[in-house]
Amino acid sequence: MREGGGVSGLARVEQIAGKSGWEILDAMMSGELPSPPMNDTMNLALLEVGVYGALC
């Protein structure tokens, strides 16, 4: 796992069902959910998730 999340890929519907947007981003940060493949393409990393937004 690299800093700021796990490997890139696609989350399954059952992994995100019932989660809020914040919970999904938090799960990406912890590596529970994969980060979007575009993060690798555009060399992006999710650095922080907070009440008012996310920092990339």
Torsion of CA 15, 34, 41, 50, to 10 degrees: 90
Q: Give phi and psi for 33, each to the nearest 5.
A: -115, 150
What does the pLDDT read at residue 1? 38
**Burial track 24-54 (b if 16+ CB lie within 10 A, e otherwise):** bbbbbbeeebbbbeebeeeeeebeebeeeee
Return per-residue pLDDT of the chain as tens, 56 residues.
345 567 889 999 999 999 998 899 889 888 899 988 888 888 887 777 777 767 66
User: Has this prediction a pTM greater than 0.75?
Assistant: no
Domain layout of the chain by residue ranges: 13-55
What does the pLDDT read at residue 3? 52
